[in-house]
């Protein structure tokens, strides 16, 4: 019924009276899904192409050439046009000087193409150093009518990052909140499998992972297939439909010296250590940062032998201090805990870096390869991020800032918040406070879903009775700590008996920038 109503309204829009003034017959404002995501700090288009068509162009194609300079890695185009007769329809097509790159079918006015992904109905591939052409197909225009078109073109270059998100021009939610996500997921674009309709184990399509994230009530996911960039194309297609789950581009850089996830960049970074283009891990991390990515070491304490080739981090020790995050908890750790073993091996490795004065964010990721595991699959564990909006930029910047805790159960319904205050500053997890000897840090814990559990506060990695609570109240609980003027970090765990169900990033004291 609603679909029929929408079609009827669209049909009515296409037969507006010709007497309406031309200035109000500019194409209606584009819906959010039909706009282009912009690069941070680069809102103005690099080119604006304008012109007119009339009845002489009816059922013809109008070429509008333009040059894309060398070094450009992505182009984004928005087409609008006036409809003085209320009936004009102009299709948007593209050629890159050598080949056909796509056709809108008149249902899209915004197009994004790069080497790894493109708006549906367009084709990814080489971008810069070419003479491109818009192919404007004038499907209809009345006798005597003249339509003015405007095509805005944006050029993306290496290192540009999205102002909002790679695959969405607007935040999925615009308010501050604690957002739940999974930062380590595999699909059929690498080694993720699921059952086919006939029950065979096959490479699993990406939409199944997004649906599993919906079922786990996650707000965001990063798909991180091994060394691959092919999954970005499907993510660009899926994001407008799955507008309740933010899709963040990722890759698992899978090397013989360890695995690292990179988030928020779609430019290819060479994963082949030892090649001239990528001689060592230091160069790889630098290249990932230059591409605009956040870098996280995965499962650093995993084996690095025949059991899990290249899984453990054996790269030079200095590389640990170069990254933005450590995956301190994944499903492998949690399965150990379910079996009664200690799941904290990767936490210990991360804390050794914190003890050196490095502010590196602890995150979780399921490392899921099978969407059919239910609650022990996608979202187990869940990384919970306090961000100003549900967008790629806000989530990644908050991860880098350490505004993160990890839900080791993956069950929706658990919440945790911490507000820390001094006389001159208010902050939360991940923030640094400068305190002289004798000054006090006041903290307020606010938790839900952990009734009857124990709060364990850890000072410099060691349990502190003064920072702990035998029972977490449903609501707010005050804590305070007095500084000795030295450098310290304070983090928290929620435990149910001996089982850890939640762990936080630290509040830092006297760590500097």
Mean pLDDT of 250-258: 97
3-state secondary structure of 3: helix
What 3-state DSSP class applies to 7? helix
Residues with Cβ < 8 Å from 320, sequence gap 6 or more?
297, 300, 313, 326, 353, 360
Which distant-in-sequence residues (6+ apart) come within 8 Å of 243 by Cβ?
Answer: 33, 168, 172
Are 163 and 43 a contacting pair, CB within 8 Å?
Answer: yes
Q: Is the pLDDT of residue 16 over 50?
A: no
Rounded Cα gap, residues 9 and 28, in angstroms:
13
More confident: 15 or 209: 209
Distance CA 434, CA 486 (A): 10
Judged against a pLDDT cut of 50, whether residue 21 lies above it is answered with: no
According to DSSP, the β-strands at 246-255 and 220-223 are parallel
Can you tell me the mean pLDDT for 496-508? 96
216 in Cβ contact with 375 (< 8 Å): yes
pTM of the model: 0.93
Q: Which two tokens stand for residue 476?
A: 């707010």
Helices first, then strands: H and E counts in the chain: 7, 29
Lowest mean pLDDT among 18-22, 36-40, 56-60, 187-191: 18-22
pLDDT band at 28 (very low <50, low <70, confident <90, very high): low
pLDDT at 30: 76
Asked if residue 9 has pLDDT above 70, the reply is: no
Q: What is the mean pLDDT of residues 470-480?
A: 91
pLDDT at 405 (0 to 100): 98
Confidence band for 1, pLDDT divided at 50, 70 and 90: very low
Please state, for a pLDDT cut of 90, what percent of the chain lies above it: 89
Q: Is residue 324 scored above 70 in pLDDT?
A: yes
Average the pLDDT over 388-409 and give the result.
98
> Residues 426, 441: contact at Cβ < 8 Å?
no
Task: Output the six-digit token pair for 181.
Answer: 């996500």
pLDDT score recorded for residue 18? 35
What is the predicted pLDDT for the residue at 42? Answer: 96
Please count the CA atoms within 13 angstroms of the CA of 295 that sit on its side-chain side.
Answer: 23
Quote the Cα angle for 413-239-81, to 5°.
140
The structural domains of the chain, ordered by start, are: 18-156 (2.60.120.380), 177-412 (3.20.20.140), 413-513 (2.60.40.10)
Q: Which of 142, 10, 126 is nearest to 82 (CA)?
A: 142
Model confidence at 513, pLDDT cuts 50, 70, 90, reads low
Cis peptide before 381 (omega within 30 of 0): yes
Which secondary structure element, helix H or strand E, spans residue 2, and what is its range? helix 2-13
429 three-state secondary structure: coil
Cα 464 from Cα 259, distance rounded (Å): 34
DSSP string, 345-385: HHHHHHHHHHTTT---EEEEE--BSBGGGGGGSTTSSEEEE
Asked if the model's pLDDT at residue 12 lies above 80, the reply is no
């Amino acid at each position: 019924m609603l679909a029929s109503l929408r079609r009827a309204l669209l049909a009515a829009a296409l037969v507006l009276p010709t007497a309406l003034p031309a200035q109000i017959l500019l194409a209606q404002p584009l819906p959010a899904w039909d706009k282009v995501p912009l690069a941070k700090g680069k809102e103005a288009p690099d080119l604006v192409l304008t012109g007119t068509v009339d009845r002489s162009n009816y059922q013809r194609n109008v070429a509008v050439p333009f040059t894309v300079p060398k070094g450009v890695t992505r182009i984004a185009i928005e087409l609008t046009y006036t409809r003085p007769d209320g009936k004009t329809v102009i299709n948007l097509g593209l050629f890159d000087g050598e080949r056909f790159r796509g056709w809108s079918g008149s249902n899209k006015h915004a197009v994004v193409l790069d080497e790894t992904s493109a708006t549906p109905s367009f084709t990814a591939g080489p971008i810069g150093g070419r003479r491109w052409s818009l192919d404007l197909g004038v499907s209809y225009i009345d006798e005597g009518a003249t339509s003015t078109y405007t095509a805005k073109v944006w050029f993306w270059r290496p290192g540009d990052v999205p102002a909002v998100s790679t695959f969405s021009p607007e935040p999925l939610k615009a308010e501050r909140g604690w957002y739940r996500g999974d930062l380590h997921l595999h699909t059929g674009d690498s080694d993720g499998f699921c059952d086919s309709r006939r029950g065979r184990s096959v490479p699993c399509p990406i939409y199944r992972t997004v649906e599993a994230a919906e079922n786990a009530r996650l707000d965001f996911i990063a798909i991180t297939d091994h060394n691959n960039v092919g999954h970005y194309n499907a993510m660009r297609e899926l994001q407008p439909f799955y507008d309740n789950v933010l899709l963040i581009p990722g890759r698992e850089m899978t090397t013989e010296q360890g695995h690292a996830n990179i988030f928020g960049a779609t430019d290819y970074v060479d994963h082949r250590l030892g090649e001239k283009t990528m001689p060592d891990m230091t160069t790889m991390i630098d290249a990932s940062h230059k591409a605009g990515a956040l870098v996280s070491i995965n499962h650093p304490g995993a084996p690095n032998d025949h059991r899990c080739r290249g899984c453990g981090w054996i790269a030079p020790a200095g590389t640990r201090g170069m990254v933005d995050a450590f995956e301190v908890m994944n499903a492998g750790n949690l399965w150990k805990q379910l079996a009664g073993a200690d799941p904290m091996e990767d936490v210990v490795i991360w804390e050794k870096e914190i003890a050196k004065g490095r502010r590196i964010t602890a995150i979780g990721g399921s490392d899921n390869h099978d969407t059919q595991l239910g609650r022990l699959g996608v979202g187990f564990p869940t990384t919970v991020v306090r961000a100003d909006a549900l967008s790629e930029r806000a989530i990644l910047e908050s991860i880098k800032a350490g505004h993160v805790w990890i839900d080791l159960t993956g069950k929706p319904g658990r919440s945790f918040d911490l507000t820390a205050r001094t006389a001159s500053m208010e902050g939360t997890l991940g923030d640094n406070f400068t305190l002289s000897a004798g000054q006090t840090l006041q903290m307020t814990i606010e938790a839900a879903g952990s009734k009857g559990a124990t709060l364990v506060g850890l000072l410099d990695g060691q349990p502190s009775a003064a920072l702990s609570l035998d029972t977490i109240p449903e609501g707010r609980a005050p804590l305070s700590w007095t500084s000795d003027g030295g450098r310290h970090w304070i983090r928290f765990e929620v435990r149910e008996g001996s089982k850890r169900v939640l762990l936080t990033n630290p509040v830092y004291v006297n760590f500097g920038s």
